[in-house]
Amino acid sequence: MAAVELTVFHVILLFWSLRTAESQVMALTGCESYCGGIEIPYPFGMTKGCFLDERFKIHCNSSSGVPKLTLNGTDLPVIYISVSYSTIYVKFPIAFANCGVKERSTVVDLEGSPFLFSSEDDFVARGCSNLTLMHQKNSTVGGCVSICYENRDRLIASCSGINSCKTRDPSDMIDGDSALVVVLDWGIDRRVFESLVRNGSYNTLSYTSTCKDMNTSINSTIQSPIVQCSCNPDFEGNPYLSGICQEDTAYVSYRRKINAKMAGLGVGVGFGALFLFIGLWWLYKVFKRKRCEKLEKKYFKRNGGLLLQEQLSSGEVNVEKI
């Protein structure tokens, strides 16, 4: 088998389903937040003052009649931007090599940007006798080999590594001269983030969101560590807007139902306690009356009340008039 780098291959995009778009306020006040039906949340933006810096600028070109979003500094069309997962979905053209009349290569350089190739992407090369490698700074960081056999089901082969091959795209890949990706992880430069905290643009004391350094093994090749922010559980919205998220609408509805049930329970307990108090008060009054009656009988006997009663009933009582 001849092992020739980048021979007869094209890369297949293996897409995860798009996440549900956020429904909260996602852009800065007064900034246009949609282009072609695609939401553009802060720190991204289309006009000056609406994005954090030039690296987050989004171009919206409507000259062809159909709005097209591209990431600043690249020709990558933008499909979807998520602040919940700090990811951006972009379209990469399929690259071909040694395919006859169909020849096309794709090179993208993300060095110095806040974007990294996501580990959620798969790098797939299809064809026969392929040795496909991923490079970064003239170093090989990954790759795979596809082997062709006759009478092999291509659908099965696509999973087994025969007639095709697949490997997990490393998350620390930032120079994609031989990789075709769909999802990019992104975040805010730590120095920029610290500046936002100092001038009060970001509230680090907010209990609604959390920020942390992006998990990457190549901080040395990035100008500064990348910070990613996310809303805490039961909160939603854009954590990059002052660091404050809103309560999840579903959680708010659930909490209202719980509060209503608790209120009903409280009313029930209150009425129960009231009836119990009335019952105890009534029992106390009955017990007190019974005790008084018992004492009256006791003193009646002690003071000759029975003898007087017998005399009154027999008519032997003499009443002297004064």
Neighbours of 63 (CB within 10 A): 7
In this prediction, residue 253 has a pLDDT band, given cuts at 50, 70 and 90, of low
Query: What pLDDT shows up at residue 81?
Result: 94
Q: Which of 62-66, 84-88, 292-296 shows the lowest mean pLDDT across its residues?
A: 292-296
Query: What pLDDT shows up at residue 195?
Result: 86
Query: What pLDDT shows up at residue 307?
Result: 67
pTM of the complete model: 0.61
150: exposed, middle or buried (Cβ count in 10 Å: 0-12, 13-18, 19+): exposed
Query: What pLDDT shows up at residue 175?
Result: 38
What average pLDDT does the chain have?
Answer: 72
Q: Which of 8-22, 46-60, 73-87, 153-167 shows the lowest mean pLDDT across its residues?
A: 8-22
Q: Is 4 helix (H, G, I), strand (E, B) or coil?
A: strand
Residue 272 has pLDDT above 70, yes or no: yes
Residue 259 Rama label (left phi>0; alpha psi -120 to 50; beta): alpha
- Distance (Å, rounded) from C-alpha 218 to C-alpha 198? 27
> Which amino acid is residue 282, in one-letter code?
W
Is the pLDDT higher at 102 or at 272? Answer: 272
In this prediction, residue 152 has a pLDDT band, given cuts at 50, 70 and 90, of low
Is the pLDDT higher at 313 or at 17? Answer: 313
Query: What pLDDT shows up at residue 18?
Result: 36
Average pLDDT over residues 295-322: 63
For 202-240, write each residue's pLDDT tens digit. Answer: 777 678 888 888 765 543 345 568 899 988 888 888 888
Residue 298 has pLDDT above 50, yes or no: yes
In this prediction, residue 160 has a pLDDT band, given cuts at 50, 70 and 90, of very low
Average pLDDT over residues 28-34: 90
Average pLDDT over residues 52-73: 88
- Distance (Å, rounded) from C-alpha 318 to C-alpha 322? 13
Q: What percent of the chain has pLDDT over 70?
A: 60
Average pLDDT over residues 72-88: 88
Enter the tokens of residue 252.
Answer: 């708010």
Stated as kind and residue range, the H or E segment containing 141 is: strand 139-146
Q: Which of 40-49, 149-158, 279-288 shows the lowest mean pLDDT across its residues?
A: 149-158
Query: What pLDDT shows up at residue 306?
Result: 63
